[in-house]
Amino acid sequence: MNLDSKIPEGPLSQKWTNYKASQKLVNPANKRKLDIIVVGTGLAGASAAASLGALGFHVDIFCIQDSPRRAHSIAAQGGINAAKNYQNDGDSVERLFKDTIKGGDYRAREANVYRLAEVSGNIIDQCVAQGVPFARDYSGLLDNRSFGGAQVSRTFYARGQTGQQLLLGAYGALSREIARGTVVLHERHEMMDLVVVPDKEGKPRARGIIARNLVTGELERYAAHAVVVASGGYGNVYYLSTNAMNSNGSAAWVCHRRGAAFANPCYVQIHPTCIPVHGDYQSKLTLMSESLRNDGRIWVPKKKEDAEAIRRGEKGPLDIPEEDRDYYLERRYPAFGNLVPRDVASRAAKERCDAGYGVGPTGLAVYLDFADAIKRLGRDVVEQKYGNLFQMYYKIVDADPYKVPMMIYPAIHYTMGGLWVDYELQTTIPGLFAAGEANFSDHGANRLGASALMQGLADGYFVLPYTLQNYLADQIYVGKIKAEGPEFDEAEHAVRERLDGLMTIAGNPGNSEQHSVDHYHKALGRVMWEYCGMARSKESLATAKEKIAELEADFYQHVFIPGKAAEMNPELEKAYRLADYFELARLIVDDATQREESCGGHFRIEHQTEDGETLRDDENFMFVAAWEYQGHDKPEVMHKEELNYEHIQIVKRNYK
């Protein structure tokens, strides 16, 4: 497997400029003869399709929801980073680049991250031009706030609904192209397989997809000169996460099965501020934005007996006097305080709860307290900044955060791993590109807050429109791609067999050993959270592997899916996504097992400093692990892309 990252020549700050100056272009009259498939309508997919359509390419775009505006980017709350330095507080492209590399614990590719920082300012310009109503100050200029892992204020925001507003901006641009006819929308369609066809020289190329119409259940074929997968992350492998119910890893996974390398699957982000789990029936976890850590202070009781009394319901947070509260982030990390990066904050919460200081009925919660902020700023200001988040908390928990501190606990939120891509965002299959959370490229082992929106839009608005052209320049000679031939037949047949196979597992109705899909998904989630979650060890990972295999075997014998494959069937949708999660879960565990170090979101308890911080092993593990699929029952093969840091000085990641 060839892992050529294709990083352009020249000094870091000139690489992207050099690339753009020397890339190949497509003549305007030829663009409309070239077809592109985009899977996913989140920030990356919608912005890519809108930009490519505006350039004149013909784009087919697919989403599993009823409208492109539903993609889960919509739920991002806090903000988007950009190195504008509007606050005159010392920000720059260089600083955003350094913060992102350091935040990712020196496991991301320098050139990609530098480009991300470089185009970050253009994103804000673009979004403002589209009418995104970012927060402003009284002079009419744009306002900023701070996020974790940064000592400057570079986060632009639209109340607590930044993702929504950015997505609606991209959705507007996409809608314009749909009206112009350059983009064709296929809503309620799910990508089921990638079609790879060899060209005249025998070089395999991504040439289309098999999609399932979720209303009729029919399989449909689509052909194109290139395919972009922007289908998001795989956090729902843990069942409970902040992801939407329909967010899934399958579109990326079928590409992996067809030969695209999957990189760093064990890098999973656990977000420190989510509403704690409260019952077995629970379907998802709700995030409370990181922006709350600008003004909220995180604490647990100093005395164990206080924590125990709170758990028994005999005391409340307001009964604990100031001197008996442990603001553990401020204590452990005086320089960054409550604004340490997510992985650090999550582990610190787990550490306190494991030590017996957790609050709430389960003991798996800590307080996020706004009393000081309300005293300092007044309730009105706090309400203006965070009103909708407070209301959301109130509706879910039935407690008023203006009066009593919120209770929060870490939860699965984002996956840094994903399809391996080179500098052009092209996977190991020529013609297959991956963008946004679906690729692995920019966040290393941990993503900083407000950087996901930045990356999704950077990929879609400002990277793919250039790099895809470079790929498509010589594809004009190929002519129209038709959705026919043995490769399309084979792919469609394989999907049909897979679906029919799942539908017939249950055997005879009334068998008491049958279980629903959710039964297995919940069980898989518990295994992953318990043994491959915030803290991992050689033993826990071995246990995880065993339990995943048992569950998977049981799933293929006893899962029951009602109805037919050729109709609207949400149970079947869940089943084929879960079938892929079993394979993905195994790979996450294998990747976590081989990575004998702690970095970012990947914490191996064998590798920590005396005070419980992550301990990297740069000598042996400064590489990207790119895995190659070998077949359903075979262990995958790992390839290494060594990371070379030419520009940045590598130091211990320290937020103290």
Partner 1 sequence: MKFTLHIWRQENARAKGHFETYEIDNISADCSFLEMLDQLNEKLVNDHISHPVCFDNDCREGICGMCGLYINGRPHGNDDGVTTCQLHMRHFNDGDEIWVEPWRAKAFPIIRDLVVDRTAFDKIIQAGGYISATTGGVPDANNILVPKHKADQAMDAAACIGCGACVAACKNASAMLFVGAKVSHLALLPQGKPEAQDRVKKMVCKMDELGFGSCTNTYACEAECPKQIKRQNIARLNRQWIGSLFGRDRNN
Q: Give catalytic residues, as residue numbers.
A: 342
- For the bound state, the minimum distance from the C-beta of residue 235 to partner 1, rounded and expressed in Å, comes to 13
Contact 67, 36 (CB under 8 A): no
CA 506 to chain centre: 33
When binding is defined by CB under 8 A, the residue of 57, 86, 239, 253 that contacts partner 1 is: 86
Neighbours of 439 (CB within 10 A): 28
Q: Pick between residue 47 and residue 264 the one whose CB is nearest to partner 1.
A: 47
Q: Pick between residue 433 and residue 627 the one whose CB is nearest to partner 1.
A: 433
Contact segment (CB under 8 A) with partner 1 among 27-35, 196-204, 534-542, 555-563 equals 555-563
When binding is defined by CB under 8 A, the residue of 10, 17, 18, 137 that contacts partner 1 is: 137
Q: How many residues bind partner 1 (CB under 8 A)?
A: 82
The footprint of partner 1 on residues 202-231 (CB under 8 A) is 215
Q: DSSP for 125-163, please give it.
A: HHHHHHT----B-TTSPBP-B--TT-SS--EE-STT-HH
- For the bound state, the minimum distance from the C-beta of residue 68 to partner 1, rounded and expressed in Å, comes to 7
Q: What is the x/- site pattern for partner 1, positions 456-475, by CB under 8 A?
A: -----xx--x----------
Query: What tokens appear for 119 in the block?
Result: 């185009």
The footprint of partner 1 on residues 64-83 (CB under 8 A) is 65-70, 72, 74-75
- For the bound state, the minimum distance from the C-beta of residue 354 to partner 1, rounded and expressed in Å, comes to 25
The footprint of partner 1 on residues 161-200 (CB under 8 A) is 161, 164-165, 168, 171-173, 175-176, 178-179, 185, 187
- How many C-alpha atoms does 653 have within 13 Å on its Cβ side? 29
Q: DSSP for 476-492, please give it.
A: GGT----S-SHHHHHHH
Contact segment (CB under 8 A) with partner 1 among 100-108, 197-205, 531-539, 557-565 equals 557-565
- For the bound state, the minimum distance from the C-beta of residue 544 to partner 1, rounded and expressed in Å, comes to 25
3-state DSSP call for residue 542?
A: helix
- How many C-alpha atoms does 10 have within 13 Å on its Cβ side? 12
Q: In terms of DSSP H, where are the helices of 532-648?
A: 538-558, 570-594, 618-621
Contact segment (CB under 8 A) with partner 1 among 289-297, 400-408, 567-575, 604-612 equals 567-575
Q: Pick between residue 92 and residue 130 the one whose CB is nearest to partner 1.
A: 130
The yes or no reply on residue 134 touching partner 1 (CB under 8 A) is: yes
- For the bound state, the minimum distance from the C-beta of residue 598 to partner 1, rounded and expressed in Å, comes to 31
- For the bound state, the minimum distance from the C-beta of residue 404 to partner 1, rounded and expressed in Å, comes to 17
The yes or no reply on residue 392 touching partner 1 (CB under 8 A) is: yes
Contact 96, 13 (CB under 8 A): no
Q: Pick between residue 206 and residue 579 the one whose CB is nearest to partner 1.
A: 579
The yes or no reply on residue 555 touching partner 1 (CB under 8 A) is: no
Contact segment (CB under 8 A) with partner 1 among 4-12, 101-109, 123-131, 587-595 equals 123-131
Sign of the C-alpha dihedral, residues 157, 158, 163, 168?
negative
The footprint of partner 1 on residues 235-254 (CB under 8 A) is 244-246
Distance, in Å, from the CA atom of 604 to the CA atom of 616, rounded to the nearest integer, reads 10
Q: DSSP for 46-112, please give it.
A: HHHHHHHHHHT-EEEEE-SSSSGGGSGGGG--S-EE----TT-SS--HHHHHHHHHHHTTS-S-HHH
When binding is defined by CB under 8 A, the residue of 32, 221, 278, 302 that contacts partner 1 is: 278
What lies within 8 Å, CB to CB, of 392 at 6+ separation is 160, 286, 288
- For the bound state, the minimum distance from the C-beta of residue 562 to partner 1, rounded and expressed in Å, comes to 5
The yes or no reply on residue 153 touching partner 1 (CB under 8 A) is: no
Contact 344, 255 (CB under 8 A): no
Distance, in Å, from the CA atom of 63 to the CA atom of 396, rounded to the nearest integer, reads 29
- For the bound state, the minimum distance from the C-beta of residue 84 to partner 1, rounded and expressed in Å, comes to 7
Sign of the C-alpha dihedral, residues 508, 513, 519, 524?
negative
- For the bound state, the minimum distance from the C-beta of residue 532 to partner 1, rounded and expressed in Å, comes to 24
CA angle 309, 411, 556 (to 5 degrees): 120
Q: Pick between residue 203 and residue 395 the one whose CB is nearest to partner 1.
A: 395
When binding is defined by CB under 8 A, the residue of 136, 375, 376, 632 that contacts partner 1 is: 136
When binding is defined by CB under 8 A, the residue of 50, 192, 230, 578 that contacts partner 1 is: 50
What lies within 8 Å, CB to CB, of 374 at 6+ separation is 382, 402
Contact 567, 241 (CB under 8 A): no
Q: List the beta bridge partners of residue 624.
A: 641
Q: Pick between residue 321 and residue 509 the one whose CB is nearest to partner 1.
A: 509
The footprint of partner 1 on residues 317-376 (CB under 8 A) is none
Which residue shows structure tokens 């990638």? 194
The footprint of partner 1 on residues 280-309 (CB under 8 A) is 281-284, 286-287
Q: Which of 1, 33, 37, 23 lies closest to 204, judged by CA?
A: 1
Q: Pick between residue 172 and residue 259 the one whose CB is nearest to partner 1.
A: 172
The footprint of partner 1 on residues 509-528 (CB under 8 A) is 509-510, 514-516, 518
Contact segment (CB under 8 A) with partner 1 among 248-256, 344-352, 563-571, 576-584 equals 563-571
- For the bound state, the minimum distance from the C-beta of residue 66 to partner 1, rounded and expressed in Å, comes to 6
The yes or no reply on residue 501 touching partner 1 (CB under 8 A) is: no
- For the bound state, the minimum distance from the C-beta of residue 433 to partner 1, rounded and expressed in Å, comes to 17
- Amino acid identity of 222? Y
**Strand 183-186, strand 58-62: pairing:** parallel
- Amino acid identity of 339? L
When binding is defined by CB under 8 A, the residue of 1, 14, 25, 125 that contacts partner 1 is: 125
Quick one: which H or E segment has residue 373? Answer: helix 371-377
3-state secondary structure 419-432: ECCCCCCECCCCCE
**Strand 58-62, strand 80-81: pairing:** unpaired
